[in-house]
Amino acid sequence: MDTAERELFTAALRQAAASPAFEQGLEDMGWADALADDRRTAVATLFEIQGDHDVTSTALDTVIATALGLDKLGLDGRIVLPAVGGHAAPGTVDGNRLCVRGVCRGTPAGDVIAVTAAGYQVLQDVRMRPIAGMAPSLDLVEVSADVALDIAGPADWSAGVAAAHLALAHELVGTSRAMLRLAREHALEREQFGRPIASFQAVRHRLAEALIAVEAAQAAADAAWLAPGTEILAKAVAGRSARIVARHAQQVLAGMGFTTEHPFHRYLRRALLLDGLFGSSRTLARDVATEVLRTKRLPQPIPL
Amino acid sequence: MELDTFRRELDAWLDEQDFAHSVTATGNTGLDAHMAQLSKVKRHTYDAGWMRWGWPERVGGLGGSTLLRGYLGEALTSRDLVEPGIYSMTEVLAPTMIDYARPELAAEMVPRLLRGDETWCQGFSEPGTGSNLAALTCRAVRDDDGWRVTGQKVWTSLAQYAQRCVLLTRTGDAGHGGITALFVDMDAPGITVRPIETMHGQPEFCEVFFDDVDVPIERMLGDEGQGWSVAMDLLPFERSTSLWHRGAFLQQRLQRLVEVSPSVPTDELGDVIVQLFALRACSRATQYRMAAGERLGPETSVDKVLLATTEQAVFDLVADSLDVLTGDDVDTERWRSDFLYSRAATIYGGSAEIQRNVLARRVLQLGPEA
């Protein structure tokens, strides 16, 4: 997409995100076609808007299915995501049985597809339990199954993980930007001692710190598109930044942000949950470091 | 010259050069040795053309994108051929000359800096002006054929090696409008340089005293009273190519650490790798904005804060992983020096607090401070 097309695309996505029928809106505007045409723009724009507007969709499934090559098989189904906190394939094989423990975003209506180290399988007989948990707005459902092994074809889970890390990194960037915006607006409006609290250096430095974290996460997510293998780092930066932004924004919003009358709480909940999906910043960083200590090689730096 | 071609050909060339071995391989980590190495590397790379890419032809360059300069410094730093702090003076001061010196002066002087024939220094800070640069008092008064300078500068990097100095002087009223930038010969009568001993053991900072020093009128950079613009336009260059080089340096030192230390703590290493990735991602985006001709501004304070934070995190990890407390061999001396130098990362080049003030005021637009 060129600049003008990107602007139109972004405006259409924002409009869809503002309407109650977001999923339908995505279909109407042809987001899946955009994904095939310009993966980077389609993913970065949609997920940042999802994070910013605090809305959710099944787009993550589409992104993962595309990375796994499942989209070409004409499968119309939902992908089981790993249980919150990790990124191992949600399906494990035990003899001739397949055991699945994971989550979906939204209750699946059609087929449910689980990926294992051995390949993918369309699940029959899936148990589902809606998760309210930390972030009800993400509409998570716990999915479990214990069924006969019947692998339908190959699927490279690591490609799906990399694609999910990138998408979630962008979603966290959107969430972080929204938290910073709420805190900034509050600091400019709220007056104490006869002046806006935005005039106090302690408040200003917290907001500057949040800005630095947001820009770091944005740059990391953007750069990871250029250096395959670094998606895990982009997700780790985004999760780390979101926690930094949440901490400073919450302190600046103070009592106001602690009430449910203010939207901040939804973003905080979302940030914490998105950090956990496909591995939190802490566990991802540990995974990377463990590999570095084993091989004595740092990850390849981003090329100029 | 395209970046990919430049990268490939430069790498191949560096692989074959005799001079291309690390300065620490000589066992001498003193500043004199680093400076000698820097001159040698600059001369070789200039004569072979590499150092001239990315600079305009009117100052002896070969043209091309500033990304080429970014990669040259990355390649030299990654191979541990130059110390990035002293190499960065070129990236900071040459653009200032190109933008503000008379064209003949820039054409005469810039090649000397690029080729390593000369060292230049930057006379900005004073004993009374740290963060509040605009309060500087080093005075220049007009006489018959130029300016006469009297005053003091401090934290002037490499002044004891320098042939020239980009100097900010007070020529008018207090405030931003009364400042003029001059290009001063360091062998002019009346200049005294005193290196400052610092905790990291490399006397790279100096005090410089000016006692009735004559500076010819044609050595003005920009117009009278334009010195603040010179300073403001220079600062982003400290955060563009030179910051990219420093990121490459941190990568190189961290890589070395995981090779030599058997006891790097896993969680802390992970956090440092994540921070370094973010720093380099941010810095990369800045390189591309500069290469596209965009004017760099207050948003580069983000890069500076990330650099300072990451540099300290890298060397905190070093201190947790190596015996920097009691080790006395050459390698440990260097780790210790790097560690101690990193303590200043949140102080020099605009303190961490000033960077946050800049971001709050000019990027977040939070209005005036109480």
pLDDT tens digits, one per residue of B294-327: 999 999 999 999 999 999 999 999 999 999 999 9
B282/A217 touch (CB, cutoff 8 Å), yes or no: no
Catalytic machinery residues of B:
238
A204/B360 touch (CB, cutoff 8 Å), yes or no: yes
Out of A188, A207, A289, the one facing B269 most closely (by C-beta) is A289
The contacts of residue A53 (CB under 8 Å, 6+ apart) are A14, A17, A18, A174, A178
- Chain B, nearest residue to A285 by Cα: B270
What pLDDT is attached to residue B239?
Answer: 86
Shortest Cα distance, chain B CAs vs residue A239, angstroms: 11
What pLDDT is attached to residue B168?
Answer: 97
Give the number of C-alpha atoms closer than 13 A to the C-alpha of residue A32, restricted to the C-beta side: 16
How confident is the model over A82-127, as pLDDT tens digits?
A: 999 999 999 999 999 999 999 998 888 888 999 998 899 999 889 9
Rg (CA), chain A: 20
Residue A257 has a CB neighbour count (10 Å cut-off) of 22
Contact at 8 Å (CB) between B210 and B150? yes
What pLDDT is attached to residue B29?
Answer: 72
* HEC-encoded secondary structure of chain B: CCHHHHHHHHHHHHHHCCCCCCHHHHCCCCHHHHHHHHHHHHHHHHHCCHHHECCCHHHCCCECCHHHHHHHHHHHHHCCCCCHHHHHHHHHHHHHHHHHCCHHHHHHHHHHHHCCCCCEEEECCECCECCCHHHCCCEEEEECCEEEEEEEEECCCCCCCCCEEEEEEECCCCCHHHEEEEEEECCCCCEEEEECCCCCCCCCCEEEEEEEEEEEHHHEECCCCCHHHHHHHHHHHHHCHHHHHHHHHHHHHHHHHHHHCCCCCHHHHHHHHHHHHHHHHHHHHHHHHHHCCCCCCHHHHHHHHHHHHHHHHHHHHHHHHCCCCCCCCHHHHHHHHHHHHHCCCCCCCCCHHHHHHHHHHHHCCCCCCC
- Chain A, nearest residue to B302 by Cα: A212
Q: Name chain A contacts of B255, Cβ cutoff 8 Å.
A: 297-298
Out of B269, B270, B281, the one facing A219 most closely (by C-beta) is B281
Could you state, in order of their start, the residue ranges of all structural domains in chain A? 157-295
Shortest Cα distance, chain A CAs vs residue B90, angstroms: 20
Shortest Cα distance, chain A CAs vs residue B272, angstroms: 9
Shortest Cα distance, chain B CAs vs residue A8, angstroms: 23
- Chain B, nearest residue to A214 by Cα: B302
Which listed CATH number (1.10.10.10, 1.20.140.10, 3.40.50.1980, 3.30.479.30) goes with A157-295?
1.20.140.10
| Residues in a beta bridge with B143 | B146
Rounded-to-integer distance, Cα B81 and Cα B85, Å: 12
Select from A200, A212, A218, A292 the residue whose CB has the most chain B CBs within 10 Å, as the one to mutate to test that interface: A212
Out of A236, A281, A301, the one facing B280 most closely (by C-beta) is A301
Phi, psi of A59 (to 5 degrees): -60, -30
Rounded-to-integer distance, Cα B84 and Cα B250, Å: 10
Token pair, residue B278, equals 């973010």
Q: Name chain A contacts of B313, Cβ cutoff 8 Å.
A: none
Q: Name chain A contacts of B285, Cβ cutoff 8 Å.
A: 219, 222-223
A297/B255 touch (CB, cutoff 8 Å), yes or no: yes
Instruction: Tell me the pairing of strands B164-170 and B120-123.
Output: parallel
A209/B360 touch (CB, cutoff 8 Å), yes or no: no
Q: At A81, is the secondary structure helix, strand, or coil?
A: strand
Rounded-to-integer distance, Cα A265 and Cα A262, Å: 7
Q: Name chain A contacts of B292, Cβ cutoff 8 Å.
A: none
Q: What angle do the packed helices B66-78 and B3-16 form, to 10 degrees?
A: 30
- Chain B, nearest residue to A212 by Cα: B302
Angle at B333 between CA B328 and CA B334, to 5 degrees: 155
Rounded-to-integer distance, Cα A229 and Cα A159, Å: 10
Contact at 8 Å (CB) between B184 and B174? no
B356/A233 touch (CB, cutoff 8 Å), yes or no: no
Burial label for A109, CB within 10 Å (0-12, 13-18, 19+), is exposed
Shortest Cα distance, chain A CAs vs residue B27, angstroms: 24
Shortest Cα distance, chain A CAs vs residue B364, angstroms: 8
What residue has token string 């990871």? Answer: A224
CB pairs under 8 A between A and B: 150
pLDDT in tens for each of the 304 residues of chain A?
899 999 999 999 999 999 999 999 999 999 999 999 999 999 999 999 999 999 999 999 999 999 999 887 777 778 999 999 999 999 999 999 999 999 998 888 888 999 998 899 999 889 999 999 999 888 899 999 999 999 999 999 999 999 999 999 999 999 999 999 999 999 999 999 999 999 999 999 999 999 999 999 999 999 999 999 999 999 999 999 999 999 999 999 999 999 999 999 999 999 999 999 999 999 999 999 999 999 999 999 999 9
Out of B71, B270, B368, the one facing A286 most closely (by C-beta) is B270
The residues of chain B scoring below 50 in pLDDT are none
B266/A286 touch (CB, cutoff 8 Å), yes or no: yes
Rounded-to-integer distance, Cα A73 and Cα B279, Å: 40
Q: Name chain A contacts of B273, Cβ cutoff 8 Å.
A: 233, 285, 288-289, 292, 298-299
Contact at 8 Å (CB) between A39 and A70? no
A237/B277 touch (CB, cutoff 8 Å), yes or no: yes
Out of B254, B284, B359, the one facing A211 most closely (by C-beta) is B359
The predicted model scores a pTM of 0.96
Phi, psi of B26 (to 5 degrees): -80, -10
